[in-house]
A = this chain, B = another copy of it.
Amino acid sequence: MSDTEMNGAESLVHTLLENGVEVCFTNPGTSEMHFVAALDHIPGMRSVLVLQESVATGAADGYYRMSGKPASTLLHLGPGLANGVSNLHNAKKAGSGVVNIVGEHASTHIALDAPLTSDIEGIARPVSHWVRTTKGAPTVGKDAAEAVQAARVAPGQVATLVLPSDTAWDEGGVTHAAHEPAMPAPFDSGMLADAAEALDGPECLLLLGGAALSESNLEMAGRIAAKTGCHLLSEWSNARLERGAGRVSVGRVPYPIDIALEVLEPYKRIVLIGARAPIGFFAYPGKPAILTREGADIITLAKADADLTSALEALCETTGATATQPAHVATPDVPQPQHGPINLENLAAVIARTIPEDAIVVDESVTTGRAFSPATKGAAKHTWLNNCGGSIGYCLPVAVGAAVACPDRKVMALTGDGSAMYTIQALWSMARENLDVTILIFANRSYRILRGELTNVGVQNPGPRAIDMLSLDRPDLQWVEMAKSMGVEACRVTDCETLEAAIETGLAMPSPYLIQVDL
């Protein structure tokens, strides 16, 4: 097909494909019908239908984390985009590249203020690094290529392209070739000597984030730790952390403010590579927001958008650690079989026992999962994904995207019940796409984290109305019925033996499987 015979929608699909965008998470509407038609007759794009747009944007986040490539979303006008905003917030905070395609009314229709008319760019801007409305069919291709380029800026950005429907249906579309991907920013080599000097012994912390948490980069961090005696930590939330036996193990800065302050108190000097200086998730009356000790010397060697591999290589060399055996390498450590009713400790042990080699663990276990990190450090090699934006409902959609990106890997989704309900529609897309996801729902029947937060902000002895606003009982959610209603097989467990057997069942299946874990 020559360009002159192409409409704008067709040029969009061709351009996305030429620019390496191969997946589209979508819930289209009337204003996107020409894109649907183009996706229909142009092969190459995998279209995944979702029942609510929060699933589409979360899936694009998970897809990017695991493939390193942006997926597209195809969303219906302002409201369709709005439904996806909270998971775009999470994607933005995780540094995930996403290309949102949002249909808009035809240019001539906007001034009429039809029911679905809204300020789409206004809705997009708070969660997008890049926003543009296409002017006409001939520029759709060029704009789409620039959107992909924007999404690829390290570590990854959210790009939102608004396409009025006449730019889709008008002829004159032109396919645009791939732009060169932008290089990551250089790290701050001027700080190299200071950083190397700062790392001398256990009062020093090397704090890692983003791409510094790959297996090979962690290995360099382990060499530096061995050579200098410094400690290693990662941020509380990591977009992607490689873990397990044989890899250099890093802990996380804890979430509970008092514990975080205690953990960070010893460090007089902190070197940041891809991480930010630790601050509180929330402010609390009378407590500090800066979590590091007063007067700590904080050296930023490389921000998250920089070339973190080069930063670690240079730091390795400057500290003379290039040939040092890495410290903190996790040894295989699989706990014994667990028995009896499930508690937070034996739950962590069962998970450590069952994580399969090369699994992807998507973690939104909130309060239930605080013991998971230490318990699983000697488990089989795996990848661990956290929620970086704090907007709950990230887990199931991100699991969708991770499973689409990595069809040969097992995905385990670990989520609290409150979080899971936010984006429960993801189960249907898992069933439809036959995704290899084993889901553990930690059913504690409450927004348990908020009970602690109520105390943290100084509220003692909450009464029944307050407790009711933080509770998910009355009625209890029936997760097995929920899963089956969307075509996902499921079971419910109350003790460690049946839990472990259920996880094994789920992992053995190539399709999604949900386990209600009663706590």
Q: Does A112 contact B (CB under 8 A)?
A: yes
Q: Known contacts A52-B422, A457-B169, A475-B432: does B469 contact A282 (CB below 8 Å)? A: no
Bound complex: CA of A480 vs CA of B482, how far in Å?
A: 10
CB within 8 Å for A82 and B79 given contacts A47-B469, A106-B283, A469-B49 = no
Distance A41 CA – B113 CA, assembled complex (angstroms):
44
Residue-wise, chain A 133-155 has the 8 Å CB interface mask toward B (1 for contact) of 00000000000000000000000
A175 at the interface (CB under 8 A from B): no
The verdict on A123 contacting chain B, using a C-beta distance below 8 Å, is: yes
The complex places the Cα of A37 from the Cα of B454 at a distance, in Å, of 8
Q: Which of A303-311, A395-403, A484-492 contacts B (4 or more CB under 8 A)?
A: A484-492
Instruction: Report the Cα distance A479→B485, complex, angstroms.
Output: 6
Name the B residues within 8 Å of A336 (CB-CB): none
Decide: B122 and A118 in contact? CB cutoff 8 A. Answer: no
Q: Does A217 contact B (CB under 8 A)?
A: no
Q: Which residues of B contact A478 (CB under 8 A)?
A: 484-487
Q: Which residues of B contact A89 (CB under 8 A)?
A: 78-79, 82, 118
In this complex, the member of A54, A108, A459 whose beta carbon has the largest number of chain B beta carbons within 10 angstroms is A459
What is the minimal beta-carbon distance from A62 to any residue of chain B, in angstroms? 17
Give the number of copies in the complex.
2
The 8 Å CB contact of A477, one of B166, B418, B428, B454, is B428
Give bound CA distance, A108 to B289, whole Å: 9
Q: Which residues of B contact A78 (CB under 8 A)?
A: 89, 126
CA distance A30 to B109 in the complex (A): 42
Shortest beta-carbon distance from A388 to chain B in Å: 6
Q: Which of A316-324, A374-382, A460-468, A499-507 contacts B (4 or more CB under 8 A)?
A: A460-468
6 shortest interchain CB distances as A-B pairs? A475-B487, A79-B391, A40-B466, A482-B485, A106-B283, A82-B85
Known: A30-B456, A54-B83, A109-B279. 11 other contacts (CB 8 A): A30-B281, A83-B393, A114-B279, A116-B389, A119-B126, A165-B282, A169-B285, A169-B458, A475-B486, A481-B481, A481-B485
